[in-house]
Amino acid sequence: MSPRPQPRPLSRRGFLVGLGALAGAAGLAACSNDAPPGPPAPGVPPSPTTTTSTAPAAYEGEVAWIALGAALSGLAGDLLGQAATGAAQGRFGAVPGVVSAYLSGAAAQHVAHAEAWNRLLAAGGRPAVTGYPLTVEPALRGRLDAARAPIDLLGLAADLTGTVAATVTRIVGEVTDASAVTLAAGVGPVVAMHGATADFLLGRPPTAPTDPVAGALTPDALTV
């Protein structure tokens, strides 16, 4: 009988690889109630590795423009509403009644616009926008926090409503859904009136924008 072949000595590299495999198996076992799977049987290929893909965005294409309208109108309503509340509490000094009435009235209309945009999303089977998921929110909220006088509130309102007006005008040119176009066409003049009123209260001469979409946000500003 020929002598039985002796096993080859395990190299240092093989020893370290083996330790790594054992450590990995032990880590998996610690994270699961099930025992770690054993090595595959001879001649059976290992199971393929699976990866978890990221869920698709809720708002894409034209829907993203509608979601942008909802988020921006909601943010405008919230900021102007907080400005009106702070004015009533004396936070910004002596605020003329006409300024307080403007802030509260504009806030209510922005909120109504946000609700209308969200109804369009719901009609299309998409989730309503909750909160104010926009990259510009922190800076705008910071301006409200830093406001100390009525002129600060009116300056914020003028800039904010200018952004809303430009964005809504941009939406009209980006969507084809008849309901979305109709809503944007109705929101635009109301928001433009908000901006004109803020400018009037600031003593600025009335001017028409040379580029009606200058400063408009795009769906890239959404954080959802």
Per-residue pLDDT of the chain (224 residues; tens, 9 = 90+): 444 444 444 443 343 334 343 333 333 333 334 444 445 444 444 444 443 333 346 799 999 999 999 999 999 999 999 999 999 999 999 999 999 999 999 999 999 999 999 999 999 999 999 999 999 999 999 999 999 999 999 999 999 999 999 999 999 999 999 999 999 999 999 999 999 999 999 999 988 889 999 999 999 999 99
In angstroms, the CA 146 to CA 177 distance is 40
Token pair, residue 12, equals: 């240092």
Global pTM value: 0.75
Question: What confidence score (pLDDT) does residue 208 get?
Answer: 82
Q: Rg (Cα) of the chain, in Å, rounded?
A: 30
Beta bridge partners of 134: 222
Question: What confidence score (pLDDT) does residue 57 get?
Answer: 60
As a CATH number, domain 62-221 is 1.20.1260.10
For residue 9, the surrounding DSSP H or E stretch is: none
In angstroms, the CA 128 to CA 121 distance is 6
DSSP string of 27-57?
Answer: HHHHT-SSPPP-PPPTTPPPPPPP-PPPPPP
